[in-house]
Structure 1
């Protein structure tokens, strides 16, 4: 597979550059492999709480019969400030019963009647919808099955197929390599990162090993094994290490413990997971996707500059590459902040409803955690530009010196 940003002639790199790259990458790869083997979760039974005898099945809504909604409670809802908000009436489309035909499990093909869910955030169901239901054995009537959610499996497969076709149609073999890299990333996250953290391994250490494995596997698979890719790998690893150091310092300075919602509280209470370490791990994994894009671009940019301007030395290459990097960083930083703001938009709306001041919102643990996440990731991203640019400029200038010192071969006469 070709390198993602490689446009120079094949085999134009001096052998010294390849040896230098291997001398750095091989020990890192072996250390990462050792970390994967050491931290890989065992297949021992989990201590997770049992889910009881409940079972989930797929079904199709055959008929919906709407009925009268129960009157909402007269007690007002107190949000901790004024004004007091009265309870909203229930959506009439959520009141009544539905007839389902089960499409999975031992009762496949049978019919069942269920009550429509009326709780906050419940879905509206119509005839023809594919749904998921929860069965409680030993209970008869409409209470035996409960509507849980819409069945989105077919829709997600359709979206995934469209995504794969678009990537392959546009990227061809490069697109296939990118999809293979995505599969490796997903596999490491699902089979290593999450189980290892649940097994009690330190979240920060697990995240570092997982991130290094993703970098080594995905970058070389996507962009090919070349000195340019190696420089991007080294720059990404260095910037990622700096991100971890900065995030650790910022979390300690802000006195964040990683517990900001029900999910983190549940993990801390029931599984004794280090939620502060989990926050650090999430910052490292979240920064990885943007870092590799920046480092690959910088390494390839310096390589092209060296090829187009043979007279450029280290200083010229570094300054020209840094100018490109600054333009790239300016747009990426805005992307990072907008991504975190978009993910936290419902929470920001709740703060606005509660009429909290800007200072109270910013110092809230949930928002403060996102600020630290954004700041640490951005600082690591900024550091990636000079680190990778300097490595690429040094390698390019050193290669030119080696190539100049090599004797020129006179073409043989025929």
Structure 2
């Protein structure tokens, strides 16, 4: 006959015992030290800057009047054949009141911008202009290149922050703080270090570790579940980096697949473009990896709390079943995210006559296929690794906790043994509620 004892409501929630604190420090301290050393060794000494003198100065302004005109017929075309202007061609002039620059407060006249993607102007629009000086010194002209969007983006950012805080409350505040840390690491360390000629893969791994350690503990607290998620993310991130290097080498990807990459490779010749591709895969995988690892760690913790009779095998199997469902939905999310980002490219290929085999094996598409495949494999490895760690810690903690409770009960009164040792979630709730 088994011995029954009073259920500790904190036992399933993995309370912060000295053993758990030691485990958290055991996982956290080496990771923090290695990340700090890596950042010190890879920290950029100087960031190459483009030649600012070659860039025309930009000024701000507001549209006052618009005077459209009929576009003149092209040479060799009669007036009837010219017809109305096409949507990408606009003729006429715009009067803009400058709000910055040497001539702030004055009105200037420039042509209505035309061509694909040109701004569609209305009176009162706030725009950005390029100041084009005549090399001979005869004069200067202005050209409208874009709208001003800072005000709208600030409002959208404020709405985003308010929505997060209103729903998640204090956890939302910590999530926003973690987002600020992410941007700080990207802008102050990862991007400058890559431009300084450091290895993009090492920079991405170290930077991702810094982001992960800060964001996970800041958002979820110094708990054992967070430490398990950190350990699972670090292992999976390393596997993703190794697989990325192997896949890009096997598929002979150079990392120069579009105009932006081509320009970067010419302007900054010390940047390893293949390494930059690998860094992008690692950083892109981090955002979904920590979601999977935190979910698995918390899931196993809740399973251990709801089913105290579960041991390592039961916890691992139950957590893995939940992880399979999570991975199935995440894979679809990844594919849709890449498809949405490359939708114009997909339309361009669909409208042409490019064979499917040539389309899929071209570097531009092959690069995205490798990115999504490697990222998905990294996510799949994160589930069993994190689940096993969480199940191992939860089962060992229960064994230690039960021994301590049994020792306490030995000196107290014996309790009735009317209930079998297996307790489900309802029984656990009933024992926590004093009314029961």
* Fold in common (TM above 0.5): yes
Q: Which moved more, 1:16-25 or 1:277-286?
A: 16-25
In structure 2, the partner of 1:66 is 68
Distance 2:172 2:92 in 1: 49
1:22 to 21, 25, 29: 25
Indicate yes or no: 2:53 matched with 1:54: no
Q: How far is 1:228 from its partner? A: 0.3
What runs of 5+ residues in structure 2 fail to find an aligned partner? Answer: 1-8, 77-83, 414-436
Aligned partner of residue 46 in structure 1, secondary structure: coil
What is the aligned residue count?
A: 395
Distance 2:18 2:321 in 1: 29
Report how far residue 233 of structure 1 moved: 0.6
Quote the RMSD (CA, aligned, Å).
2.5
1:215-249 alpha-carbon deviations (Å, 9 max, x no partner): 00000000001010000011111111111111111
Deviation at 1:193, TM superposition (A): 1.0
Question: Residue 319 of structure 2 contacts residue 387 of structure 2 at CA under 8 Å; is this kept in 1?
Answer: yes
In the alignment, does 2:213 pair up with 1:216? yes
Alignment of 1:271-310 (within 5 A): 271-272=268-269, 273-310=271-308
User: Gaps (5+ residues) in structure 1?
Assistant: 1-5, 75-87
Contact residue 35 and residue 206 of structure 2 kept, 8 A: yes
Which of 351, 354, 362 does residue 352 from structure 2 map onto?
354
Equivalence map 1:43-192=2 (5 Å)? 44=46, 46-52=48-54, 54-71=56-73, 90-91=86-87, 94-138=90-134, 144-192=141-189
- Alignment partner, residue 225 of structure 2: 228
The C-alpha deviation readout for 1:380-401, integer Å capped at 9, x for no partner, is 0011100000000011111112
Checking the alignment, whether the CA contact within 8 Å between 1:39 and 1:201 is kept in structure 2 is yes
Q: Aligned to 2:48, what secondary structure does the other structure show?
A: coil
Paired residues of 1:236 and 1:291 also in contact (CA < 8 A) = yes
Offset at residue 12 of structure 1 (A): 2.3
Question: What CA distance in whole angstroms lies between the structure 2 residues aligned with 1:64 and 1:141?
Answer: 26
**Cα distance change of structure 1 residues 166 and 142 upon mapping to structure 2, 3 Å threshold:** farther
Please report how far the alpha carbon of residue 213 of structure 1 lies from its aligned counterpart in structure 2 after TM superposition: 0.4
TM-score of the superposition, structure 2-length normalised? 0.85
Deviation at 1:8, TM superposition (A): 7.0
**Residues 1:401 and 2:404 aligned together:** no
Q: 1:243 aligns with which of 235, 240, 244?
A: 240
1:64 is paired with a residue whose SS is strand
Deviations 1:92-128 (A, max 9, x none): 7721110000112332211111112223322221211
Gap change, CA 1:404 and 1:9, over 3 Å in 2: closer
The 2-side partners of 1:7 and 1:357 are apart by: 61
Taking the aligned partners of 1:107 and 1:374, their CA distance within structure 2 comes to: 50
Q: Secondary structure at the match of 1:94?
A: coil
Measure, in 1, the Cα distance between the counterparts of 2:74 and 2:56.
29
Inter-CA distance 412–32: structure 2 relative to 1 (3 Å threshold): same
Q: TM-score, normalised by structure 1?
A: 0.90
Q: What is the CA-CA distance between 1:297 and the residue it aligns to?
A: 0.5
**SS of equivalent to 2:332:** helix
Asked if 1 retains the 8 angstrom alpha-carbon contact of 2:256 and 2:262, the reply is yes
